[in-house]
C-alpha cells in the first residue's frame, strides 16, 4: 500500500532504485504544505491527548498495586492474544484481530519510512528503506491492508445486516423520546469510523496501482510490482481499462492528497472520537484490578462524604475506564438485570458517565460542584433505580474485553445513596435489623445455632475448644428453615467423615459480603470487625464455609481488615474428603443433573470444577446449561437484592434461569451450592410452573443420598 510520510524525496539511483516514490511529482511548495498539514494534525492530536489526560487527572488519586512491568506484560499479552475479544463472540474477535494486526503492521510500516526519511537519513545519513527490505515491506503491507479491509467489511456486515441485539443502543433505563434513549450519534460515529478506515485502505491500494501504471516504464518499479500483489492486480485492471502512464500520474497525484488528508484527519481526530479506544483500552487493561468486584475499595477515614457524588469523586482509573468502553455490548448481553427488563445496563451506566465526564471535565475550568453531581435523571446522570437494579454478580466485569470495572463504580455510587437513605424501605429495615441483631433475619444471636439442637451429636464451640476446621455457617444456612435442613445434613456428613469441626455459635455475625455490596460500608466494617474478633477467640487450622457470599468476603476482603485465614468452600472440601476416602459413594445416583454456578463461588472465585467433580463422582450425568461457569446467570439475589422486592409481574432472574434449565430434556435435578440459590430457585421452580418436572437440590443433599 502507498505510504504517507513526511520527508524529502530520496535520490533515485543505482542500488537504491528499488524503493517507494514519495514526492516525485510535488513542487517544493506542495511538500511544505503537506508537512504543515501533517504537523497541524499531530498538534491537534497532541492537544486532544492533553485534554483527555487533564480530564483523568481531575478524578481522585489512586495508587495502583503491583509492579508496572508485570502489569505491562499482562496488558501486552491481552492485546496481542485478543483473548478477551474472542469470548462469546469469536467472529467479532477474529475480525477485530484482522483490523488490529492490519492497522499495527501498517502503522509500523509507515513508521519505518518516517524513521529513515525524517530521522536516520537527515541526521546520520543512514538509509535502509530500499532493495530487498523495501520489497518485503511492500508485500507485508499489502497483506496487512487486506486484513484491515477484510476485518472492517465484516464489521460493516455485522452492523448493517447481522445486527446483534447487543449493538442496539436503546437504553433499558430510558424511554423512547428521551434525548439519550438510543443515541443515534453513536451509530453515525460507528459508521463514520468504519467508512473512513475502509476508504483510507481502498484509496491506498488505488494509489499504489496508479503509481505502478504511472511508472510502468521504470523496470525497478514495474518488474517488482508483484511484491505489491493487490496494487499490481489493480494496476492490471486499470491498464485494461485504458489508463495511460500519464493518466496514472494524474490519478496518483489526486488520490495522494485525498488519501493523505483523510489519514491525517483520522490521526487528528483520534483523541476526540471512539478511535481513542486504541489508547484508553490499553490504559484500562494496564490499570486492571483482578479483584475489582471481589474486593471492594475501603473508604478513607479522611473522606467527608463516602462514595461518589460528583464525577470528580471517581478516581482517574475509573474515568479512564469510562473512555475505554467500546460499546461492544458484551456486558449488556451478560447482565441479569438487563435480561429481565430492569432499568439497568452496565454498558449504559458507563456510557452515561462517559458523556457526563466529557461534558464537564474536558474544558479549561471545572463547573460548580452542583453541576458535577452524577446522581439523577438528566442525560449523563445515573438514576437510583438503575443503581439498585444491580446484583453485583460480576458478569459485566468478567466479560469486559477492556477491563472496565463496573461493580466498584456502581457500589461507589450506591454508597452515596445509602448515606442519604435513598433506598427501598425494606432494605433500610434490613440494614437496621442487621445492625441490631447481626443477622438479616432479625433473630436473636442466641438462636443462630438452634439448628444444632436437632442433631444426635454435639457440635463443638470453636471458641471454647480447638478444632481442625472452623465452619462459617452464614445467615441463610443458619436461620432459613429450608436451608437449616441442608445445614444439618452437612454437619452430619462432617461428623461421619470424622472431621474435627466447630462453629462460632452466637459469636458469628452476618459476614457482610452483601451489606458491603449494598454500599453500607460502615455496617460492613462493624460486621467484619465482629467476625474477625470472634475468629480471634477460636483456634482452628482453616475455615470451611457453605456460603459462597461469606466465602468471598472472608477470602478476599477480611485481609484488608486484618483477618487472614485459609478458607475453602465446602465443594472443594468435600472433594478432598472423597479423594482421601473419608467419604465414600455407596449408592451411586443416576440422575440427569445440571449445575448452577453461584456467582460468588464461580465468577468471583473461579470455583468451577470442584462441584462438577463431586457431581460426577456421585454418579450423576452432568448436562450443562448454555450459560455456565464464567457465563453463569445470577439468581438475582446478589448485591442486597435478596432484601429488595422485585417488581410485581416482571420476570425475575431466577425464573429466567429455571426456564433455561427446563429446556434440558429429562432433567432430574437442578443442583445448587449456595443457600440463597436454594431459596431463589425453589421459588422460581414453583412460579414458572416447572414444579414436578425436576427438583432443586443442594449438592449436599445429593451427597447425603449417595453416601
Partner 1 sequence: MKIMVAVKQVVSLDEDFELRADGRDVDPDFFVRDLNEWDDFSLEEAVKIKEAAGAAEVVAVCIGSDEADDVLRKCLAKGADRAIRVWDDAIEGSDPIAIARILAAVAKRESPDLLFAGVQSSDQAFAATGIATGAFLDWPHAAVLTQLNYTPGATRAVFRRELEGGLLHEVEIHCPAVLTIQLGINTPRYASLRSIKQAAAKPIEVLAPGDLGLSDAEIGEAGSASRVRRMFVPDKAQAQLLEGDAAAQADKLAAIIRDFKGEAA
**Are 686 and 654 spatial neighbours (Cβ–Cβ below 8 Å)?**
no
Cα dist from 261 to 195, 366, 701, whole Å: 15, 34, 70
Residues 6+ apart with CB under 8 A from 556: 291, 294, 295, 604, 605
Site string for partner 1, 349-388 (x = CB under 8 A): ----------------------------------------
Residues 6+ apart with CB under 8 A from 251: 206, 210, 213, 214, 243
| Contacting residue, 237, 341, 367, 425, with partner 1 by CB under 8 A | 425
Cβ proximity to partner 1: between 212 and 423 the closer is 423
**428 binding partner 1? (CB under 8 A):** yes
Among residues 88, 447, 485, 582, the one that binds partner 1 under rule CB under 8 A: 447
Q: Which of 250, 419, 496, 683 binds partner 1 (CB under 8 A)?
A: 419
Nearer to partner 1, 484 or 656 (CB): 484
- Minimum CB separation of residue 512 from partner 1 in Å reads 11
Per CB under 8 A, which region of 24-32, 316-324, 425-433, 554-562 contacts partner 1? 425-433
H or E segment to which residue 651 belongs: none
Give me the least distance between CB of 557 and partner 1, in Å please: 16
Considering beta carbons, is residue 273 or 437 the nearer one to partner 1? 437
CB closer to partner 1, 249 vs 529: 529
Least distance from partner 1 to the Cβ atom of residue 172, Å: 27
Among 62, 104, 265, 299, contact with partner 1 (rule: CB under 8 A): 299
Rounded least distance, CB 526 to partner 1, Å: 6
Which position has the grid cell 414458572? 688
What is the enclosing helix (H) or strand (E) of 241?
A: none
Choosing from 210, 418, 671, 700, the residue that interacts with partner 1 (CB under 8 A) is 418
Residue 197 CA to residue 213 CA, distance in Å, equals 25
d(CA 529, CA 561): 7
* Nearer CB in complex with partner 1: 442/689: 442
Which of 373, 412, 372, 420 shows the shortest CA–CA distance to 390? 412
CB count within 10 Å of CB 308 equals 26
Q: Which three cell numbers stand for residue 15?
A: 542500488
> Which 305-334 residues touch partner 1, going by CB under 8 A?
306
Sign of CA dihedral 17, 199, 85, 411: positive
Q: How far apart are alpha carbons 96 and 662 in whole angstroms?
A: 36
Nearest to 579 by CA among 544, 533, 543, 613: 613
Minimum Å gap between C-beta 435 and partner 1 is 7
Residue 222, CA atoms < 13 Å, CB-side half-sphere: 10
Interface with partner 1 includes 431 (CB under 8 A)? yes
Residue 346 in contact with residue 173, Cβ under 8 Å? no
Q: How far is the CB of 432 from partner 1 (least distance, A)?
A: 7
Write out the DSSP string of 575-586. Answer: HHHHHTTSS--S
Q: Please identify, among the stretches 311-319, 412-420, 485-493, 677-685, the one whose residues bind partner 1 according to the rule CB under 8 A.
A: 412-420
Least distance from C-beta 392 to partner 1, angstroms?
19
The nearer residue to partner 1, 24 or 420, going by C-beta atoms, is: 420
Q: What share of residues in the chain are helix, strand, coil (percent, to 5)?
A: 60, 5, 35
Instruction: Tell whether residue 437 is a contact of partner 1 (CB under 8 A).
Output: yes
- Residues 635 and 655: their CA atoms lie apart, in Å, by 8
Shortest Å distance, C-beta 524 to partner 1: 8
Pick the stretch among 108-116, 278-286, 350-358, 435-443 that binds partner 1 (CB under 8 A). Answer: 435-443
Cβ nearer to partner 1, comparing 215 with 411:
411
Judged by beta carbon, residue 523 or residue 672, the one nearer partner 1 is: 523
SS (H, E, C) 37-91: HHHHHHHHHHHHHHHHHHHHHCCECCCCCCCHHHHHHHHHHHHHHCHHHHCCCHH
Among the residue ranges 414-422, 489-497, 629-637, 639-647, the one whose residues contact partner 1 (CB under 8 A): 414-422
Q: Pick out residues in 160-219 that bind partner 1 (CB under 8 A).
A: none
Site residues (CB under 8 A) for partner 1, limited to 505-524: 520-523
Among 63, 67, 240, 436, binds partner 1 (CB under 8 A): 436
Judged by CB under 8 A, the stretch of 31-39, 85-93, 137-145, 431-439 that binds partner 1 is 431-439
Strand boundaries in 298-363, DSSP class E: none
Report, in Å, the least distance between residue 523 CB and partner 1. 4
N residues, the chain: 707
SS3 565: coil
CB of 416 to partner 1, least distance (A): 10
Residue 461 Cβ vs partner 1, minimum distance, rounded to whole Å: 18
**In this complex, which beta carbon is closest to partner 1, that of residue 111 or of residue 432?**
432
Give CA angle at 71 (66, 73), nearest 5°: 140
Closest separation in Å from C-beta 308 to partner 1: 15
Least gap, CB of 446 to partner 1 (angstroms) = 6
Which strands sit side by side in the sheet containing 621-622, from one edge to the other? Answer: 621-622, 592-595, 669-672, 695-698
**Binding string, residues 646-675; x marks residues near partner 1 by CB under 8 A:** ------------------------------
- How far apart (Å, rounded) are the C-alpha atoms in residues 618 and 629? 20
Size of the site for partner 1 (CB under 8 A): 23
Among 21, 526, 630, 664, the residue binding partner 1 under the rule CB under 8 A is 526
* CA atoms within 13 A of residue 17's CA, in its CB half-sphere: 11
- Output the smallest distance, CB 270 to partner 1, in A: 43
- Contact yes or no for 64/290 (Cβ under 8 A): no
Q: Does 444 bind partner 1 (CB under 8 A)?
A: yes
Sheet holding 567-569, edge to edge: 460-461, 501-503, 469-472, 542-545, 567-569
Q: For cell 460499546, what's the residue?
A: 327
E-state strands within 416-541? 460-461, 469-472, 501-503
If one asks whether residue 525 binds partner 1 (CB under 8 A), the answer comes out as: yes
CB of 525 to partner 1, least distance (A): 7
Measured CA to CA, the distance from residue 171 to residue 151 in angstroms comes to 28
User: What gap in Å lies between CA 277 and CA 443, rounded to an integer?
Assistant: 51
Is the Cβ–Cβ distance between 660 and 627 less than 8 Å?
yes
Which residue number, 88 or 445, has a Cβ lying nearer to partner 1? 445
Closer of 173 and 313 to partner 1 (Cβ):
313
Tell me how far, at minimum, the Cβ of 439 lies from partner 1, in Å.
Answer: 12
Closer to partner 1 by Cβ: residue 384 or 571:
384
Q: According to the binding rule CB under 8 A, does residue 286 interact with partner 1?
A: no
Cβ of residue 521: shortest distance to partner 1, in angstroms? 6
Decide if residue 432 touches partner 1 (CB under 8 A).
Answer: yes
Binding site for partner 1 (CB under 8 A): 299, 306, 418-421, 423, 425, 428, 431-432, 435-437, 444, 446-447, 520-523, 525-526
Amino acid at each position: 500500500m502507498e505510504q504517507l510520510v513526511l520527508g524529502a524525496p530520496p535520490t533515485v539511483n543505482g542500488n537504491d532504485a528499488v524503493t517507494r516514490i514519495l514526492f516525485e511529482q510535488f513542487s517544493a511548495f506542495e511538500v511544505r504544505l503537506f508537512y504543515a498539514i501533517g504537523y497541524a494534525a499531530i498538534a491537534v492530536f497532541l492537544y486532544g491527548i492533553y485534554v483527555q489526560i487533564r480530564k483523568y487527572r481531575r478524578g481522585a488519586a489512586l495508587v495502583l498495586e503491583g509492579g508496572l512491568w508485570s502489569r505491562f506484560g499482562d496488558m501486552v499479552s491481552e492485546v496481542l492474544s485478543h483473548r478477551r475479544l474472542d469470548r462469546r463472540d469469536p467472529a467479532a474477535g477474529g475480525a477485530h484481530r484482522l483490523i488490529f494486526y492490519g492497522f499495527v503492521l501498517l502503522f509500523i510500516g509507515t513508521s519505518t519510512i518516517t524513521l529513515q526519511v525524517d530521522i536516520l537519513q537527515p541526521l546520520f545519513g543512514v538509509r535502509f528503506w530500499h532493495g530487498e527490505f523495501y520489497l518485503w515491506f511492500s508485500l507485508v503491507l499489502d497483506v496487512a491492508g487486506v486484513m484491515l479491509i477484510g476485518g472492517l467489511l465484516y464489521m460493516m456486515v455485522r452492523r448493517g445486516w447481522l445486527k446483534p441485539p447487543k449493538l442496539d443502543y436503546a437504553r433499558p433505563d430510558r424511554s423512547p423520546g428521551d434525548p439519550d434513549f438510543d443515541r443515534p450519534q453513536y451509530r453515525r460515529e460507528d459508521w463514520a469510523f468504519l467508512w473512513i478506515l475502509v476508504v483510507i485502505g481502498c484509496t491506498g491500494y488505488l494509489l499504489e496501482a496508479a503509481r505502478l501504471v504511472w511508472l510502468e516504464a521504470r523496470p525497478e518499479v514495474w518488474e517488482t510490482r508483484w511484491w505489491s500483489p493487490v496494487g499490481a492486480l489493480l494496476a492490471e485492471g486499470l491498464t485494461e481499462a485504458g489508463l495511460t502512464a500519464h493518466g496514472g500520474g494524474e490519478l496518483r497525484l489526486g488520490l495522494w492528497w485525498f488519501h493523505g488528508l483523510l489519514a491525517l484527519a483520522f490521526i487528528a481526530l483520534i483523541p476526540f472520537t471512539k478511535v481513542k479506544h486504541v489508547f484508553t483500552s490499553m490504559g484500562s487493561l494496564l490499570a486492571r484490578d483482578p479483584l475489582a468486584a471481589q474486593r471492594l475499595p475501603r473508604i478513607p477515614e479522611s473522606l467527608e462524604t463516602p462514595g461518589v457524588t460528583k464525577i470528580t469523586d471517581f478516581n482517574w482509573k475509573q474515568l479512564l475506564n469510562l473512555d475505554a468502553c467500546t460499546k461492544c455490548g458484551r456486558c449488556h448481553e451478560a447482565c441479569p438485570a438487563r435480561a429481565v427488563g430492569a432499568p439497568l445496563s452496565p454498558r449504559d451506566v458507563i456510557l452515561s458517565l462517559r458523556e457526563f465526564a466529557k461534558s464537564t471535565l474536558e474544558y479549561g475550568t471545572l463547573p460548580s460542584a452542583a453541576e458535577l453531581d452524577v446522581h439523577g435523571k438528566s442525560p449523563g446522570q445515573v438514576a437510583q433505580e438503575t443503581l439498585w437494579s444491580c446484583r453485583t454478580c460480576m458478569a459485566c466485569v468478567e466479560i469486559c474485553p477492556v477491563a472496565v470495572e463496573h461493580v466498584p463504580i456502581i457500589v461507589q455510587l450506591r454508597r452515596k445513596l445509602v448515606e442519604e437513605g435513598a433506598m427501598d424501605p425494606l432494605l433500610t429495615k434490613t440494614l437496621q435489623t442487621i445492625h441490631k441483631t447481626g443477622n438479616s433475619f432479625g433473630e436473636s444471636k442466641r438462636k443462630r445455632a438452634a439448628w444444632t439442637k436437632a442433631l444426635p451429636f454435639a457440635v463443638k464451640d470453636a471458641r471454647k475448644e480447638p478444632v481442625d476446621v472452623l465452619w462459617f455457617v452464614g445467615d441463610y444456612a443458619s436461620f432459613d428453615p429450608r436451608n437449616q435442613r441442608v445445614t444439618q445434613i452437612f454437619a452430619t456428613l462432617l461428623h461421619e467423615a470424622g472431621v474435627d469441626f466447630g462453629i462460632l455459635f452466637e459469636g458469628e455475625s452476618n459476614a457482610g459480603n452483601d451489606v458491603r455490596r449494598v454500599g453500607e460500608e460502615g455496617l460492613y466494617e462493624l460486621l467484619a470487625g465482629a467476625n474477625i474478633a470472634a475468629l480471634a477467640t477460636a483456634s482452628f487450622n482453616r475455615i470451611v464455609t457453605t456460603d459462597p457470599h461469606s466465602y468471598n468476603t472472608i477470602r478476599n476482603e477480611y485481609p484488608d481488615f486484618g483477618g487472614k485465614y485459609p478458607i475453602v468452600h465446602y465443594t472443594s472440601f468435600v472433594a478432598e474428603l472423597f479423594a482421601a476416602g473419608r467419604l465414600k459413594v455407596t449408592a451411586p445416583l443416576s440422575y440427569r443433573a445440571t449445575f448452577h454456578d453461584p456467582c460468588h463461588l464461580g465468577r468471583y472465585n473461579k470455583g468451577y470444577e470442584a462441584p462438577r467433580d463431586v457431581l460426577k463422582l456421585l454418579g450423576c450425568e452432568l448436562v450443562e446449561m448454555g450459560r455456565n461457569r464464567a457465563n453463569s446467570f445470577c439468581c438475582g439475589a446478589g448485591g442486597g437484592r435478596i432484601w429488595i422486592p422485585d417488581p410485581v409481574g416482571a420476570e425475575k432472574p431466577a425464573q429466567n434461569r429455571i426456564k433455561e434449565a427446563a429446556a434440558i430434556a429429562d432433567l432430574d435435578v437442578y443442583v445448587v451450592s449456595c443457600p440463597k440459590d436454594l431459596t431463589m430457585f425453589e421459588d422460581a421452580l414453583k412460579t414458572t410452573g416447572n414444579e414436578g418436572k425436576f427438583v432443586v437440590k443442594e449438592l449436599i443433599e445429593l451427597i447425603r443420598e449417595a453416601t
